[in-house]
Structures are given as C-alpha cells and as structure tokens.
Amino acid sequence: MKGTRATGRHAGSKVFRHELKYYLHWSDYETIRKKLRLIAYLDPHSIDETGYQIRSLYFDDIQDMALEDKKNAASSGRKYRIRIYNNSDAAIKMERKSKIGGYICKEAVAIARDEYASIMTGQTDFLKETESSLLRDFYVESRQPLFAPRIVTDYIREAYAMETGNVRVTFDKQLMTTVDFDDLFNDQLAMVSVIPQPMLIMEVKFDHFLPFNIQYLLQNLSNQRTLISKYAVCREKTKNLNN
C-alpha cells in the first residue's frame, strides 16, 4: 500500500529513519494493538504475545552531554549503550543512537560476555584493534574524563513490523530503572518504576514514507505525541530518589 512520501536522510553509510513517539493510555494501546495485528506481524524475537524484555546500560560523560541533549531537545546528538534481551548473554550489543534533526540512526555490533566484562572494568584498550568503527569510536569516548556507566533501563517491548515503508511499531511497557549496574544480567536487580500505570510509550519508526493504514491508526493521537526519552526520564527518576 502506498503512503505519504517524506525525505529520507543518508549520512555516509548511515541510514537515518523517522521516529515518532507517543505517550499512550492503556485503553488507546489496546485499541491500536488490535488493529495493528491485522496489518503487521509480531517481531519474531518475541517470547509470546506480550513481547520480550530489553535491558540497556547507558554511558555518559562528566557533563552528561547525552542527557543534556535530550533534556534540551537538541537537534543533534548521540548516546552509547550496551543492550541485552531477556536477561541472557546470548545476544549482547553495543549500540550507538544518533540524531540529526528529526531523523535517528541506530548502529549495533555484537560483543562477547568477556568483552562486556572488560568494558565494565575500564579495560577498553582491546577496542582500538577492532574492525568495528562503532567500537573504535566508543573507545575514543571512553577515554574522556569520567565517561562511565550512568543508568540501567528495563522494560517489556511488544514490537510489530511491516515490510511496506520498513515500518516498526513498538509498545514499551513497565519501564523501570536502577543505578545498580554491576551485573547487567542479574534478574534480581532492585528496580524502581518510572512511568505510572496505565501509561506506556509507543514508537513508530519508518524509512521514506508512512503507509496510509498506519497513518490511519495515528490520526487521533496528535495530542499524545511526545519527545520522551527513556534514558532522560530514568535519569530524572533516580535523581529525584537521591534527593
């Protein structure tokens, strides 16, 4: 199905995508989900219909530049994180999320459990020799003053995809956070809830155009558009707890 055209963006070999965010009530989620399941397929990584768990460890520097970019709605910025799924080390990823204007780009590279452990102890020299430009860039960042882990985010993601427009719609539920990041794989980490029930975050990502059937699902949600950042709201939550 055809949709509304928009201008995509390329920067070198990086592909930047559109990203729309919505702060949804549970009742809206159930309505959209029911219709979405008729036109999109559930992410194959899902454990069941509720989705899968995502846990991310975010890094920032002494000036909290990644956080300040988010709080000030900067037109550009980037942040690094290590991400795992379902508390397993089967897939550990170093990711960099970059923003230029209204476009976002997520790059990812797999790392091993022992490489994760080395990074967490500040032993990052091995990254200088890697073939991954992302990991080499992370090494450079890691040499900055007090560039270090800042926070862990944890939530359940229910994800759907469409080949048309390369659309991905995600519902992020039960967002929690902690500053206890000594063991990312510990399923007993002491977490605090960040977003009160019955609210959740919906994200819509697409390449050059948004199909009409997805536009139809979003047409009454303009008042629920948001620039919310899970990293930023989790940092604010832990800051308030510490105060």
**Domains by residue range for the chain, with CATH:** 13-242 (3.20.100.30)
H-assigned helices in the chain: 26-36, 65-71, 113-120, 133-142, 212-218, 230-242
| Residue ranges of the chain with per-residue pLDDT less than 70 | 1-13, 66, 68-76, 242-243
Q: What is the dihedral of CA 131, 132, 137, 139, to 10 degrees?
A: -70
* Number of other CB atoms surrounding residue 240 within 10 Å: 9
12 SS3 class: coil
> What is the predicted pLDDT for the residue at 11?
46
206 vs 163: CA distance, rounded Å: 10
Place of tokens 């900055």: 144
- Amino acid 198: pLDDT: 95
pLDDT for the residue 69: 60
The predicted-structure confidence for 111-135, as pLDDT tens digits, reads as follows 999 999 999 999 999 999 999 999 9
Asked, as a colleague might, if the bond just before 149 is cis with ω within 30 of 0, I would say no
**How do the residues of the chain divide into helix, strand and coil, expressed in percent and rounded to 5?**
30, 45, 30
Among candidate residues 55, 44, 8, the one with its CA nearest the CA of residue 185? 55
CA proximity to 59, closest of 173, 140, 155 = 140
Cβ–Cβ < 8 Å for 23, 223: no
pTM (two decimals) = 0.89
Q: Count CA within 13 A, CB hemisphere, residue 6.
A: 19
**pLDDT for the residue numbered 5:** 37
How many CB atoms sit inside 10 A of residue 196's CB?
A: 7
Q: Which residues pair with 80 in a beta bridge?
A: 96
